[in-house]
Structure 1
Amino acid sequence: MRQFVDPDTGEVFYEEQILRRPDEIVKIFRPAGRSSKFVKIKASQKAKRRLRKLSLAEAGFLLKIAPYASEGTNLLEGDNERGQKGVPLTVKDLARVADCSYLQARKIVKAFIAERILRRVEIEGRTALAINPLYSLNGKAAEAFLLQLFKGEITEAGEDPNSE
């Protein structure tokens, strides 16, 4: 294992080799104390087939925005680093999170809504986006609100979003 030190920050990095199958997606989580988020990407065969249908840009976008999903409801909300904590993220905010242009983010969000990966919902007079729990779930279990929001998709898929 090789070690690197960032000359500006002094942060230590280690080089590791990761072996993976061509159809696997790897996401690295950096522990950040109590505020760290653990997002579960669905691993069933049906979910893997759904994820494989996404383009590389769409898959990258989904993985970058997933940590902003609120626990249990999957509503995309700010965390005071990107957007205000608890306030729904706009497409412009999501473009910053995903490090892409606003036009590209808008195109992917529109495609995700059409593909039923995201859904718009009104919360306290604001429009928010929620991630379908069949693709990704923040927290141990989906709340009733989220299950109701994506009820048709979950029933059609014949899956339980709370199962591994």
Structure 2
Amino acid sequence: MRQFVDSATGEIFYTEEVLRRSNEIIKVFRPVGRSSKFVKIKASQKAKRPLRKLSLAEAGFLLKIAPYASEGTNLLQGDNERGQKGTPLTVKDLARIADCSYPTARKIVKTFMELHVMRRTDLEGRSALAINPLYSLNGKTAEAWLLHLFSQEITEAGEDPNLD
């Protein structure tokens, strides 16, 4: 295993071999000293079309916020470093995470909602944002209510509703 050090931040990175299917892009986030998180970017050909239309800023925004999706539910929630653990992240929180202005984050979230990359839902009386599991899934399987929330998009994309 080879080790690399980011000269700007001092963060330590290691090379790893990742096996994936031909239609998957996988990004694994494993900061040193923290628990690892499995984030999978999965998209059928139909689901990839809106992703190809994303600007570089929008695609970068999605990659930066994806690790904040809770396992199985894809709800964007705090982790005590950014936002309170288990509490839905606001657009203002997402702007801080993605290192962009609030108006830019608001515009990107609006675009994601129009493209069905993201949806608002209710979490214990609070508004929460969830990422469509066709685009990014934290964990190995999606919970039933998440699949139901995006069932129309999953069916239209011709994907298996279980997204295994």
Q: Tell me by how many angstroms 1:2 deviates.
A: 9.7
Structure 1: give runs of 5+ residues left out of the alignment: 16-23
Cα 1:45–1:4 change in 2 (3 A) is same
Equivalent residue, structure 2, for 1:117? 117
- Give the whole-Å Cα distance in 1 for the aligned partners of 2:55 and 2:40: 20
SS of equivalent residue, structure 1 residue 38: strand
Identity %: 75
Q: Tell me by how many angstroms 1:12 deviates.
A: 5.3
- Give the whole-Å Cα distance in 2 for the aligned partners of 1:2 and 1:37: 20
Equivalent residue, structure 2, for 1:90? 90
Aligned length: 155
SS of equivalent residue, structure 1 residue 133: coil
The one-letter code of the counterpart of 1:111 is T
- Give the whole-Å Cα distance in 2 for the aligned partners of 1:147 and 1:2: 38
- CA deviations on 1:87-106 (whole Å, 9 max, x unpaired) are 00000000011110001000
Equivalent residue, structure 2, for 1:142? 142
8 A Cα contact 2:27 2:41, kept in partner: no
- Structure 2 residue 101 is the aligned partner of structure 1 residue 101: yes
- CA deviations on 1:106-147 (whole Å, 9 max, x unpaired) are 000011111111101111110000000111111001100101
Structure label with greater radius of gyration: 1
8 A Cα contact 2:6 2:12, kept in partner: yes
Normalised to the residue count of structure 2, the TM-score between the two structures is 0.81
8 A Cα contact 1:142 1:161, kept in partner: no
- Give the whole-Å Cα distance in 2 for the aligned partners of 1:8 and 1:59: 23
8 A Cα contact 1:117 1:132, kept in partner: yes
Cα 1:79–1:152 change in 2 (3 A) is same
Equivalent residue, structure 1, for 2:21? none
Task: Please provide the CA RMSD for this pair.
Answer: 2.9
- Give the whole-Å Cα distance in 1 for the aligned partners of 2:134 and 2:26: 18
8 A Cα contact 2:42 2:135, kept in partner: yes
Normalised to the residue count of structure 1, the TM-score between the two structures is 0.81
Q: Tell me by how many angstroms 1:28 deviates.
A: 6.0
Equivalent residue, structure 1, for 2:39? 39
8 A Cα contact 2:117 2:131, kept in partner: yes
SS of equivalent residue, structure 1 residue 104: helix
8 A Cα contact 1:40 1:139, kept in partner: yes
Structure 2: give runs of 5+ residues left out of the alignment: 16-23
- Give the whole-Å Cα distance in 2 for the aligned partners of 1:12 and 1:46: 37
SS of equivalent residue, structure 1 residue 128: strand
